[in-house]
Structure 1
Amino acid sequence: MVIAADRLGLPALELSHALLRALWSEEKDVTQPEVRIEVANALGLDGEKLGEMEEAPEIMQAWLDSHEEARQRGVFGTPTWIYKDVLYWGQDRLSFLDEALSED
């Protein structure tokens, strides 16, 4: 859904954060299409359209490519950020990422 939003020029990062919030803070099952649609709709996006786009071959391929890149870089969960080839994962690592960014 996030890739579809990005392809449409919609706020994909905002949607990604909302989905992570739904998962980690609200304990919603974001593997369920209806949950993702609800989250997108709450942001004022067309959740139904984005949900339909998830199944498009080019969206699925982009997801698979992203998944493979993450696997090759050693990502093992979400959220994960990579900065200068260093992995920062989970909320507890944000302060380390902030420190690294501040040094530049």
Structure 2
Amino acid sequence: MSKTIQYYFAPHSPWAYLGHERLLKLATRYGAMIEPRPVDLGAVFSETGGLPLAKRPPARQAYRLQELQRWSAHTGLPLNLHPKFFPVDPVPAALLLVAAREEQGADQALALAGAVMRAVWAEEQDIADAATLARLADDTGFDGAALVAAAQGPAVRRKFEGFTKEALDAGVFGSPWYVVDGQGFWGQDRLDFVERLLQV
């Protein structure tokens, strides 16, 4: 029987970016279903003791940059350590992804999520900008302008808030976070453990 991966993430997370395509490949390899659940990482941090990047001690900030370099090299994914548009408000992109999931389902939403993450970390694009989001959606097979408009609706906002509450109820405190068979895994460096559960 195929398994389901609950995928909690924020669209501006470099770690989600580094793990996104590998997650999709794992799901394809093992016939698993992915449920993308974009969350408000700021709200998650405030509830679980996390700190936004600018408020972390210098040693932690420096180590983060080393790890990003290592994982970029390891995965072969291009990554700007200091993107032009970062920090960035992730909420418009998160709402867009929720709307995409509601409109065309998980697979199309996951494809758009990958494009949004690449836009931040490899392409120097502003994912808080409506025109940028519409173009990314167009390129992924959506009607971009219509999807951006739909993302502003109250039902999409409620769904986004619901995903964030679900994340907190599941013990999520970072992005990305994967849940398989009730077990939570924080970070793209835990995908090997996710794969072990998918093999069972």
TM-score with structure 1 setting the length: 0.79
Cα gap change, 1:83 to 1:99, in 2 (>3 Å): same
The alpha-carbon deviation at position 32 of structure 1 amounts to 3.5
More displaced stretch, 43-52 vs 54-63: 43-52
Q: Which moved more, 1:64-73 or 1:83-92?
A: 83-92
Compare 53-62 and 91-100 and name the one that shifted more: 91-100
Greater gyration radius: 2
Query: Which string of whole-angstrom CA distances, capped at 9 and with x for unpartnered residues, describes residues 18-62 of structure 1?
Result: 223334444644344333223212213222111111111111111
1:90–1:37 distance in 2 versus 1, CA, 3 Å: farther
Aligned with 1:47 (options 139, 144, 155): 144
Q: C-alpha distance in 2, partners of 1:78/1:27?
A: 21
Report SS of the residue matched to 1:76: coil
- Could you tell me which of 112, 121, 127 is aligned with 1:15? 112
Moved more, 71-80 or 59-68: 71-80
Corresponding pairs, count = 103
Percent identity among equivalent residues? 32
Match of 1:35, SS state, is: helix
Are residues 70 and 83 of structure 1, via their aligned partners in 2, closer, same or farther at CA, if it must alter by over 3 Å?
same
Any residues of structure 2 matched to 1:23-38 within 5 Å, and which?
23-26=120-123, 28-38=125-135
Measure, in 1, the Cα distance between the counterparts of 2:187 and 2:197.
16
**Gaps spanning 5+ residues in structure 2: where?**
1-95
Q: Does 1:2 pair with 2:74?
A: no
Q: Which moved more, 1:68-77 or 1:30-39?
A: 30-39
Greater mean deviation of Cα atoms: 40-49 or 27-36: 27-36
How big is the alpha-carbon RMSD for the aligned residues of Structure 1 and Structure 2? 2.1
Instruction: Return closer, same or farther for 1:71/1:33 CA change in 2, 3 Å cut-off.
Output: farther
Take 1:57 and 1:67, find their aligned partners in 2: how far apart are those partners? 15
Q: State TM-score, norm by structure 2.
A: 0.45
Matched, 1:85 2:182: yes
Tell me the residue number matched to 1:96.
Answer: 193
Stretches of structure 1 lacking an aligned partner (at least 5 in a row): none
